[in-house]
Amino acid sequence: MKKHSGPHRELRIADQIQRDLAELIRTLKDPRVGMVTIQAVEVTPDYAHAKVYFSVLVGDGETSREALNQSAGFLRNGLFKRLAIHTVPTLHFIYDRTPERAADMNALIARAVASRSKDGDA
């Protein structure tokens, strides 16, 4: 039994799932799925489940999450055809607000810097 291949294999599988899902999601015809970006994929050690973290550039995150979870079976079937593993995990889509919060934080910082420079000019 090769112990050293475990975590690295999980990471490779998660990375491949992330790439393949990005392509498969673009084929979905569901208008509720916005412009989705897959942020990360975490696969359980037994490959039974995968948490898929995503953000949206255009569209509503919660609506996209519902649509993606409803399409999870179709997407999993697409992964079966692409991945060379015995068990393709059940997909669980999780809306990741990190990019959204980062943009809000950058806007706050920009406003603070702008108001500070106005105060300095006065």
Integer angstrom CA distances of residue 118 from 104, 105, 114? 21, 20, 6
Domains of the chain and any CATH numbers: 6-121 (3.30.300.20)
Q: Please state, in angstroms and rounded to a whole number, the distance separating the CA atoms of residues 33 and 11.
A: 26
Residue 45: pLDDT over 80: yes
Q: What is the mean pLDDT of the chain?
A: 88
Percentage above 70 pLDDT, the chain: 90
Q: Please state, in angstroms and rounded to a whole number, the distance separating the CA atoms of residues 84 and 16.
A: 10
Residue 2: pLDDT over 60: no
Percentage above 90 pLDDT, the chain: 61
Tell me the pTM: 0.78
